[in-house]
Structure 1
C-alpha cells in the first residue's frame, strides 16, 4: 500500500510535527510512505493513480484548479483521503470544489466568556464532549469507543447530509454569543466519493489533542478505513 502525506499551510497546527506522529503507524502497518509539502502533487495523475491513501494536514493555504481536479478524480477512482482538524476541514477556503469533496468546512470555534479572554489562542479552548452516534457505535473507525471530553478548539462545521456522521459535538448558546439555541456539529464523519472513502476528525488542534487515546485511535483507524480497497482498485 502506498500512502502520500501532504502537509503545510498555517504553521500554528504544526503540520510537520503532527504528521510525524503518525508516520510510524503507517510504516508499521505496511504502507510505503511518501511526504510532500506541496498540494500541487495532486495534479500528478500518475502519482495519484498509484496512491492508496492521502493523509492531508494543510490548513488554509491555496490550491490550483488542476490540483483540486486531480484530488477529486483520484478519490473518485478509489484513493482514500483523510486528515484532522484544520488540516482537512479548513483547507483551501477559496475552493468550493474542495469543500464539496470533503463535506465539511470550519466556520468558527466559539470563545470563552469575554471576561475570561486574554487575547491569546487559549480564548477558544473550551471543555466539550465528543458524542458518538448510533452509526459511530458500529463503525470500524469508532466502534468500542466511549464519549470523551476535550479542552481545546471546538469546531463549528458547515456540512451536508452526504456525510455519515460518527460523532458530534454540541455548542451551547451562552449569552455572549449571538445564536439562540445549542448547535450540533459533526466531530467525526466519513464520506463516499465515487469509489473512494474520506474520513475526517475535527479534534486535532495540537499535538496533545492528537495524542489523546481516543483521538489517536480515530485518526489511525480512519487511515486504515479510507485506504483503497480491492473492490475500489
Structure 2
C-alpha cells in the first residue's frame, strides 16, 4: 500500500487475504467479496499470503477479510493482525475461510469468537433461523429460510451476539439431536468490530440472496 494509494482519505480501504484449502474456493470467494466491497465504495487490496497480516499499515484499514482455511499463521503475523483489530480495524468473514483458518492459533479463535469442529452429513439440507430480526444486519431476512451446504457445528464464545442459528436433527450424529448452534454473530475484540457467518462452503452460495445480503451487511457493520 503506497502513499499514493492513500491520498483519498474519504475512501474506506479493505484487505482480503485468501488461500489455504482449495475446496472452499478461496480465490473465487475473494473475487465475490472484492466486488461486493467495491460496489460499496471501498478501495480493496487482495493478497494470497498470510504475510500480508504482518504489514504494519493494516492498522490504517477499515476492514480485513480472511478467506484462508486450514492453514498456519506465523507469530508475528498473528500479533500484528490482532493488534490491528484491537485498535479498531474491522474483521469479517464467512465459513471456513474465517471460522477454520488457523486451528493452532487460539488468540485468533478468541478474536473470531468460534472455531469449526464438524459438519455432520457434509452437504445437507437444513434451515437457518433468524433470532434477532430487528438487527440491521438481519432486517427483512425471512425468520426461517432453507439452506443447502455444510451445517457447521462450532465451538463458540458465549459472549457473541448471535443473530441467527440452526438446529441439528440428529440424523448424522444422534447425540446432537436438537442442538441449537449459532450461524451468524457479531462481537467486539478490543475496539474492533467482528462479524462472522458460517454459511458459504463454495462461492456459488453467494447466489443465495439471504446469504449474500447477510455477509454484505455484516462486513459493512464491521468496517470502521
Q: Give the match for residue 214 of structure 1.
A: 210
Q: Give the match for residue 168 of structure 1.
A: 165
In 2, the alpha carbon distance for the partners of 1:104 and 1:180 equals 18
Q: CA deviation at 1:94?
A: 0.8
Q: Give the match for residue 17 of structure 2.
A: 6
TM-score, normalization by structure 1? 0.88
Please show how residues 10-159 of structure 1 align to structure 2 within 5 Å: 10-45=21-56, 47-111=57-121, 124-133=122-131, 136-146=132-142, 147-159=144-156
In 2, the alpha carbon distance for the partners of 1:24 and 1:99 equals 27
Q: Give the match for residue 3 of structure 2.
A: none
TM-score, normalization by structure 2? 0.91
Maintained 8 Å contact 1:130/1:167: yes
Maintained 8 Å contact 2:169/2:176: no
In 1, the alpha carbon distance for the partners of 2:189 and 2:92 equals 12
In 1, the alpha carbon distance for the partners of 2:211 and 2:169 equals 22
Three-state SS of the structure 1 residue aligned to 2:84 is helix
Alpha-carbon displacement from aligned partner over 1:14-55 (angstroms, at most 9, x marks no partner):
11111211222211211111111112222222x212211011
Q: Structure 1 segments of 4 or more deviating over 3 A?
A: none
- Output the aligned Cα RMSD: 1.2
Q: CA deviation at 1:153?
A: 0.5
In 1, the alpha carbon distance for the partners of 2:37 and 2:203 equals 18
Q: CA deviation at 1:181?
A: 3.5
Aligned residues: 212
Q: CA deviation at 1:180?
A: 5.4
Structure 2: segments with no counterpart, 5+ residues: 1-11
Change (3 A) 1:41 1:178: same
Structure 1: segments with no counterpart, 5+ residues: 112-123, 229-233
